[in-house]
Amino acid sequence: MLTEHQLTYFKTFGFVTLRGLFSVDEIKTFNEEFQLKLKSTLRFTGPQDEDAKYCSWSNLTSKTPVLSKLPQDPRILSIAEQILGEDCNLASCNAGSYVNDTRWHPDCRNFHHDSIKFPIYLQDLDANNGALRLIPGSHKQPFHEAVTKFDPPGYDNDATRKGYLIKDVPTHACKVEVGDVLVFDTHIWHASWGGKIDRRMLSPIYIKNPKTPEAEDAIRENVKGAHTVRE
């Protein structure tokens, strides 16, 4: 579980980095399953996609037996329960092979919906090669809405809006080494800059068990939005 200091850091800034949570051998096994799934997924792309092959899939399958158990790993689950409550629920456990820059965005805009994400990168990353950039404190109102009104460069895939570049927005670049795990509130604004192809990330996501009609409606809205994107 998070220490009191780490928990305060998370609540204040919207994220925290956990160093060396997984061993090199564990990451090697994660990578092996990732590679097999990526290879099978790339069968459905063509030569025209060579420079833009962003791929994503669920790890909750028999084809990824180790990764499918990742959400139950006590090193992750205990933190999810600490932040969201012991009755929190797993929303997803996906993997992604990212390419190029990632626009500014929050994963969730509805503040009746509480969820956290655990990005686990399978290679070292820093500010120059695609490390996740976060705007600290933007997981809270009214700052979150202020950033929305600012419409940060890169939102809606416009990397030069208002004369800025993604990297010019004041942020914290989360430098990670193999085995590190990030934890962030899904309301926080984030992006990446300078990454090329095949940045490998695993991302268990947990949601707080809804206690109010507004929270239930927020989850329905989120599910509906996810189906719209897939369609």
Quick one: pLDDT at residue 41? 84
How far is residue 88's CA from residue 17's CA, in Å, rounded to a whole number?
Answer: 21
State the pTM of this model: 0.89
Residues of the chain short of pLDDT 70, as ranges, are 44-53, 152-164, 225-231
In single-letter form, the type of residue at position 139 comes to: H
Q: Are 147 and 141 in contact (CB under 8 A)?
A: no
How far is residue 112's CA from residue 186's CA, in Å, rounded to a whole number?
Answer: 12
Quick one: pLDDT at residue 164? 65
Q: How do residues 133-186 score in pLDDT, each as one tens digit? A: 999 999 999 999 999 888 765 555 454 455 567 888 899 999 999 999 999 999
Per-residue exposure over 94-104, b if at least 16 CB sit within 10 Å of its own CB, e if not: bbbbbbbbbbb
Nearest Cα residue to 171 out of 146, 195, 190 = 190
Radius of gyration of the chain (CA): 17
